[in-house]
Structure formats: structure tokens, C-alpha cells
Chains A and B, each alone.
Chain A
């Protein structure tokens, strides 16, 4: 009888711990996540370090230099890489500062709607009964309202500004958070570890925020990305309609609006902020898709 060569396999250790493939280990192998995450990170960094990156003051007007084309049209105008707008402001600097506005609104509105939606969803899902019925009615009411029309009406009433846009969007975008939190809470609340915590006499805060919330964070992360992209696009729409961020702030949506008069003569004025919006919204949505992939079935 030949003795089989034994090289690699080691003795299986008694009572071994299963190796846990951490989130980041899996994330590093996920191409979509790496790609879209890198774009999102880059835009965030641009937003944070805008003052250092922007070659010019985004508000500085120079009528003499108005509507200069970007470098690929005219290699001689090297001082304004992406040209200038109708008031002669450096377009690159305005785009860079525009990332700040978009990210501020995306994060601010999403954070606000997350707090509202998650709280409502947790309470409805955990308590059930008439509380659930009441909150579900509120959610249904909210779902039956057209976001863009309500936002337009409210902003028109109060008067547009960056803060108003954040608050209005925050108050309108919580529905998905509430719906997802409510269903996920119902599922998790039925699990034995929540029962065990109740038997232990835990406080309500402990049950909701330590036992339930950490275990439903995966679907909530996905909702957050969807709502962020949603908020970015809504802000652009509102600004385009003149009821969002006000001039001279360099919002991408506002830049589109300002450029629409000269779009046939200076198409880059439309194309550049449009491309920025498209890339940001796409990156956020792709990150959401990747998160859904990475967290699916991972936790038991």
C-alpha cells in the first residue's frame, strides 16, 4: 500500500471558529463596489477640499473673459481649463464648489429623512397594533403625495435657500426608510434574541437601538444610497426651476438653468454640470447595488 503524501492539510482543530469573511474582505473583491466607491470618494474629497483644489474664486466675475470655451476647443486659453460662464466665472472652480452643494444636500437631506423614517419604522414595527396602523396611514399619506409639486409649493411659500431645500427634502424623502425599517423590525422583533432581551427586563431604548437597529442596518444602507441619489437629482430639478439653491451659489442644477439660454452656442455649459450630476447619481446608485450584493444573506 502506498502512503499518500501529506503536505498541505493540517489537523482540523477542535472546536474551531468559523473564519468570518469580513465585509471589507468581500468588498475588496467586488469590482462594482471598488469602482463606484472610488468615484464617490473622489467626489467627496473634491467637495471637502474645494478651496484648495479650485484654481479660481468661483464667485469672481470677469466680464472680459465671459463664455470662454474649455481647453479642447481652444488650447490657447489655458488659464480657464473648462472655460468660463456668462459672467466670466471660472467653470472648473464652480463645478468643484458645486460638488459641495450636492454632497451637502445629499447627506443633509438623507440624514434628516433617515432619522424620521427609521424612528417611525422602528416604533411601528416593534409595537404593532394601533400604533402601527396610525404610522402606516402616515406613510401611505406621504406616499400618495407628489414630491416635486409639494417641494415646489413649500419652497415657493417660504422662499428658496440651501437650508430650506435640505429641510424640505428631508421632510419628504423618509418614506422608504420608514417602509423598510418597519418590515425589517417586524422580522427581527420576532427573533428569540429580542425576546431574551425583553425577558431580561431591557429598556425600550436598549431593545430598539442595540438589539434591533444594528441587525437591520444592511437594508437601510441600501435605502440611504437610493435616497441620496434621489436628493441630488431633486435639488438639481428644484434649482433648475429656480426654487432651489439661489444664485450666485454654484449648484450644478442652477448652473444648468443659467446655461440654458446659451446652450446652442456654448454646449459645454450644459454638458459639464449635467455629466457631473449623472456621474454622482450613478456612483451612489452603484454603491447601493454593491452594498445589496455584499450584505445579502451575510448575516444570520
Chain B
């Protein structure tokens, strides 16, 4: 396993209150695999990504029983060793490409600096490498682009530069936090293609954070559905998307408008009433409790057990959906 995470917890400070953003998350990622962490805003998916990179905001508390990358315990690494790892063996791509690039340096400066910091090669070698990587992410006129500043590029081009920067040192794992959310649909498709190509060419492990189930369907090998700081369902793409076992996953999939609905506006979308709750206290019970249409009395008393379904996914629910269907059949 490239990445192994057990019982990851992140607590933030929110107006003097403790906000439990991530409440015991387990993740595994193998080389060459794409794991999508999907969830709505406030579910803790971005905090999970930042915790893996040890980049949490100030005042955040992190705990885990295991946080290993290639057998190295990340939470025990010195700052120096950590920064040698970040950008070289683990890279990260953020949602907003403008803020992730330094506006006062050219693209070339920034790409070369990353490479030279980690490899110590000459400027000319770094230049050659930068051009090679920029071309591999589909940037034309790479040499010319290197002389430009971030604000001279469009959003799609900036995101390509960011991907190129992440790929400079041939990382073994790449963490993407909603890298296409700020982009137009056509640009999103192009960027995702580039990412997937780069991943399969280099056998990278990819942890992809998104809220978009449509994107998940196109790129994921495995899917982890997060809700209120917990993973409520986890399994292969086919299992989770085709036969969701958790009522939340099912509701989330059903609320996406899709062409199969046919008639114009004739069909109502299934929606989940209410909002994502914030947790200030430990609460072992199912986080979806307050909004679940299938809530039972046991749900209000006991923590949901993690079950294995027939389709092979793991689900934290007292009454997973296939068991339920079996019951009604």
C-alpha cells in the first residue's frame, strides 16, 4: 500500500468552539490507483487532504493511529524531512490555480525552482525538464509560456501549469483537491484527461477530492463517500455508484439532474431535506441520522456497524439498502 490512514481525526477551532471536521477516517491507496473522496461542502474532505500533507490551518488538531506513506509515518516526520517529501514524492493540486501560483514570478521560474530544490540539478537541466513536462500536459509553445506570469494565462492553462508543477519530480502520489471545480465543463474534461494520462503513464496513486459524482464516475477506481467527517460508504466505483448501500449515497446520486429523467422539468429531483450538521461533540451515532428517510429507533441509540455488502463495498449503516430491499422482497 502506498498510503495507509487509520482513524484520522481533525479538530478545528471555530469561534471558540471545537469543530470536529474529520472524525475517524480510514483510507488506503495503492500505486496506480484512483481513489475519489466525494462529499458535500463541510463534510471534511478537504481537511482530510490537508491532513495527509500536514498542511492543516493554525489551531487545528490532528490525531491518527496510522498515517503512513510508503511505510513512513508522516505525523512523526521532522519539518525538514516532510518538506523533502512534499513536492517530490507526494504532490498536491488545489482548486484555485491563481492563488497556488506566485504572481511575481514567471511560470518558468516556479517550475525550475521546484525541480532544483528537490534534485539540485543545473538551471539548464531544470529548464529542459520543465519544457518536457509542460508539453506532456498539452501546453503548446512551452518555451514561450515559461516566460509568462500567472495572470497572463487563462484558468485552464494555469491549472495545467499547476499539474505540470506537481509532476516535475515524478511523484508517487498526487492529491487533487477539487482541481476542476473552478473551470468550465469543456476545460474540466481536458484537465481530467491530462491528469488520468499522467497518472497511468507514471503509475501514480491519485487521491481525488470532489463533490461531483459525474466526475467520480469517469475517473475513479474506488470511491469513499464522506458525510459530516466520516466515511459512510466505501467500495469500487461500480458498487458504490450502481448499487449504493448507504441512504446518503443513494440520495446524493438521485439529486443529480440527468438526461434519463426525460420530460422537461416534469420529474422532480430526489433531494435530501435539511443541511449537513456540524459536530462540536463526539457522537458515535450515524451522522446522517437527522436527515435519513429510513431512520429507525436503533439509529438514535447505537453507532452503526461497518458491514460488507454483496456488491463488495463497506457501509456504515444499521440497515444498508440491499439488506433492506431483500427484506421488502
Contact = CB atoms under 8 A, between A and B. Distances in A.
Touch A–B, Cβ below 8 Å: yes
Interface of A: 1, 3-4, 6, 8-9, 11-16, 21, 29
A12 B281 contact: no
Given A9-B282, A11-B289, A12-B277, A21 B302 contact: no
Interface string B60-81: 0000000000000000000000
Contacts of B289: 11-12
Given A14-B273, A16-B275, A6 B290 contact: no
Given A14-B274, A16-B277, A3 B302 contact: yes
Contacts of A12: 277, 279, 289-290
Judged by DSSP, the binding face of B is: loop
B303 to A, nearest CB: 6
B285 A6 contact: yes
Interface string B281-304: 111110001110000000011110
Given A12-B290, A14-B290, A21-B15, A4 B303 contact: yes
A11 B290 contact: yes
Contacts of A6: 283-285, 301
B120 interface: no
Interface in B282-329: 282-285, 289-291, 300-303, 305
- Chain B interface size band reads 20 to 34
A14 B303 CA distance: 20
A1 B304 CA distance: 11
25 contacts: A1-B305, A4-B284, A6-B283, A6-B284, A6-B285, A6-B301, A8-B281, A9-B281, A9-B283, A9-B285, A11-B290, A11-B300, A12-B277, A12-B279, A12-B289, A14-B274, A14-B290, A14-B291, A15-B273, A15-B274, A15-B275, A16-B275, A16-B277, A21-B15, A29-B16
A151 B189 CA distance: 67
A261 B183 CA distance: 75
Nearest to B282: A9
A63 B274 CA distance: 80
A3 B283 contact: no
B131 to A, nearest CB: 41
Nearest to A1: B305
Nearest to A4: B284
Contacts of B290: 11-14
Given A4-B302, A6-B301, A14-B274, 6 more contacts: A6-B284, A9-B282, A11-B290, A12-B277, A16-B275, A16-B277
B180 to A, nearest CB: 25
A11 B288 CA distance: 11
Nearest to A18: B278
Nearest to B300: A11
Contacts of A8: 281
